[in-house]
Structure formats: structure tokens, C-alpha cells
Amino acid sequence: MSTQSPIRVGLLGIGTVGSGAYTVLTRNQAEIMRRAGRGIAITHVADLNVERARQLVGADVSVSADAFALVRNPDIDVVIELIGGYGVARELVLEAIAHSKHVVTANKALLATHGNEIFRAAADKGVMVAFEAAVAGGIPIIKALREGLTANRIEWIAGIINGTTNFILSEMRDKGLPFSQVLAEAQRLGYAEADPTFDIEGVDAAHKATILAAIAFGIPVQFDRCHVEGITALQSEDIRYAEQLGYRIKLLGIARRRALANGTDGLELRVHPTLIPSRRLIASVEGAMNAVWVKGDAVGHTMYYGKGAGSEPTASAVIADLIDVTRTFSADPGHRVPALAFQPESLSDIRILPMSEVESAYYLRMRVADEPGVLADVTRILADLKISIDAALQREAGEGESQTDFILLTHLAVEGRVDEAIGRIEALPTVLSKVVRLRMEELS
């Protein structure tokens, strides 16, 4: 065993994940030392709740409310940032890097919005920024993409990467309840925050999808170009109709390379509710669990499943990063695994496609008058725009009803044409509602 002194770690924030990281590191210290080849000790903690922090870590760890003093402390080798957000967190991470400290973070919002700046600063200083815990909690998807799949040209990634929304959608399907009622239950059980906006509007998943796309395709982080739709407008009847047609609806983060007509590649980067065939393994991921499905040209399909949040699952990823950092202390910075998997000077300028150019299959539901000729009018519009129909479902009108639901599934089509078709369909006098449009993915 190494006789070197332990790596000294400063922890910013000792909330749910921070306390989990401290607990896991303390409990598994002997095993971690065997893996890292050197001891690792959290010696300093910065948290606004100083008394609570002292109760958690005891008298042997220095505790302060001054986070900037911690990141500037010459007695600290590695900073773990777990305070969240992208205001003061950005300042602290950049300050730690400026003081030549390696950084471990679980902060997906920070990396999705300021990752390019942070990685550039770290490269200039010859330090690491490790972030396995930023995406899918305890699932080692970052390491899989950065290291395990480096021989592959990644074709696409599709991930259930927000546990809150997956729990809500699972409950809506299983119990037939409306979104608002299930959200309240999710908040009561602790799956959803008091302010769940980032989760239910798809922003959290978009942060994670942005990071995955950067690593998988070797592009700069570009959160502002990610298309984001949440689940707030999703209706129980669409979940029910999807089931009848052999699909389940999941909030997916999708990053997909597409060959364009001009011979170049484009990249789809989007988060939205998606119909997936029920036979696909990822469609069976229920509750608050996460899963990421990756297709590479050599390996084919691989899927990564597990807990995407929680104290110790996320701490598992934080400590794994800490071990990786410890192993590289004596390594030449030029031979470390690059933060975004590709060499910084080799990042691609592949264009992220606007949604009008995205290609997908579609679920279209409309409320129509129960009279002859409606189907013919709708299908004629789709045919004029070269959108072919895969399946149709019409609910029988009840006794005395003059309206009914009409559902169409299309084959692959360019979204711009689908938008145009929807506009024409909604103008028909026999179509009595806005058209509900959901995207569909075969994931084959």
C-alpha cells in the first residue's frame, strides 16, 4: 500500500448528496484506498448551515461557511462542488481551477450552461473536472461514453434521465390519473421538489442530454440549441391511446447523428414526451428509475439502468470520480482522458438541427365531427405533404355523441412538413380541436 499522504478534499455543500459522499467515503475507506492506491480524506467542508455540517462530520474536519476560503486553501488538493445552480457555483469552480485544484461536480446545470468555459480553464491549468454524478446519478454513463465506447462512432443516445417525470408518467399510466393529481402525490412522496419546474418542463433532462451529446459526438456543450418540451400538457387519454396502439410514453432525451442530403452530418438534440414501442426494454423502465440506451456502430445497442438520484447512488459516482482524480495525480496531464472524451482541439462543428429539420414518426390526435369524409380529408392533406400513415384508430362515438377522437400514427417525416399538415388539418371545419402531436421513436 502507498505510503503517500492522503489526498485532501474540500467539500462544498453537505446536503443530500454531500452527506452521502462523506458517508460512503468514510464507510468504504479501506476498499477505496485499495482501488485508488492512496488514501482520500475530506478535510474541509463549506456549508451555510455550519452547525449541521459539524454534526455530520465531527471534530476532525474543518467546517466553515466561507466557500471561497475553501477553494483558495493551499492545503486542499481536490474540490467537490455540490451546492448546485450556476451562479456562485461557476465562480467557485473557476476559482478552484485558478488555484490549480482538481474539481469533482454533480452540477449538470452548471456544465450544460458554462461547461465550455470551465473545461477550457481546466485544460489551461492542467487540472481535471470530473462529473460522472451530473448525469443519471449512480449510472456510470459518462465513463461508458468517455472510455468504454471510444472505439465506436455513436449513432444515437436515448435516455430516461429524469426520475421525477418518469415516476409521474408511470403513475398516470398505471392509475389513469391526471397530471396535476400525480404531481401532488410525487411531491408528497419526495420524488418532486416543491417547485418542480426544472423537472416537469424538461429542463433538467435537457441539461443532461446536452452533456451526453457533447461527450458522445465530440462537440462543444450547447444547451441553448437543445429543443425542450416537458410533460405538463400531456393528457391521460393520450397515454391510454398509446397503450392501445402498443406504445408507452416516456420523457426522452435524444441525441442522434443524421446524414444530410448535402453529404454532411447534422445532430438532433431534443427532450420531449415520446411514444416508444412497449416491446423495447427502455419502455419497461418504471417509477423514478433512469436508463440510457446507446447505439454505436461497432458495439450495437447497450443500455445502462439504475437509480438516477438519491444520496448514496449519486455519491457513488462522486467518489468514483474522486478515485479517478487520485489515480492521475502522478500522471502527465496530456495523457488524461479528455473531459468531453475527444481531444479539445478536435471538437467537431457538426450542426445541431432545428426542430423543423428533425425526422421522426408522429402520433396525431384530433377531435372530429362524427360524419363521413373526415378521414379522407385528413389523409389527403398528409398525402399532399408526402407524409405516409402507419396506423389509424377511431374511437366509436357514444350514443347521442356527435364527436369522436381520431388518432393517426405516421411513418418517418420531417417535422416542418408535419407542422404544415397540422395547420391545414386544424383549418378543416370537421376538426373540432387543436391537434395533439407527440413524436415516436422505434429505437432500432
| Active site amino acids | 208
> HSE-up of 126 (CA within 13 Å, CB side)?
8
Nearest Cα residue to 409 out of 173, 247, 230: 247
Q: And the C-alpha cell for 70?
A: 475553501
List, edge to edge, every strand of the sheet that includes 40-46: 62-64, 40-46, 7-12, 78-81, 102-105, 129-130
Q: Per the structure block, which three cell numbers stand in for 168?
A: 409521474
Quote the radius of gyration of the chain (alpha carbons, Å). 24
Query: Are the beta carbons of 419 and 356 closer than 8 angstroms?
Result: yes
Query: Alpha-carbon distance 241 to 391, whole Å?
Result: 12
Beta pairing partners, 9: 42, 78
Is the CA virtual torsion 87, 90, 91, 93 positive or negative? Answer: positive
Give the side-chain half-sphere CA count within 13 A for 316: 15
Rounded distance between C-alpha atoms, residue 161 and residue 136, angstroms: 6
DSSP per-residue letters across 190-233: TSS-SS-HHHHTTHHHHHHHHHHHHHHHT----GGG-EE--STT
Q: What share of the chain is helix, strand, coil (3-state, %, to 5)?
A: 40, 25, 35
Instruction: Please list, in sequence order, all residues whose beta carbon lies within 8 angstroms of the beta carbon of residue 309, skipping any fewer than 6 positions away.
Output: 137, 163, 288, 290
- How large is the greatest C-alpha to C-alpha distance in the chain, in angstroms? 85
The β-bridge partners of 195 are: none
Cα 208 to Cα 214: distance, rounded to the nearest angstrom: 10
Q: Which amino acid is at 422?
A: I
Is 300 within 8 Å of 180 (Cβ atoms)?
Answer: no
Tell me phi and psi for residue 286, to 5 degrees.
-115, 170
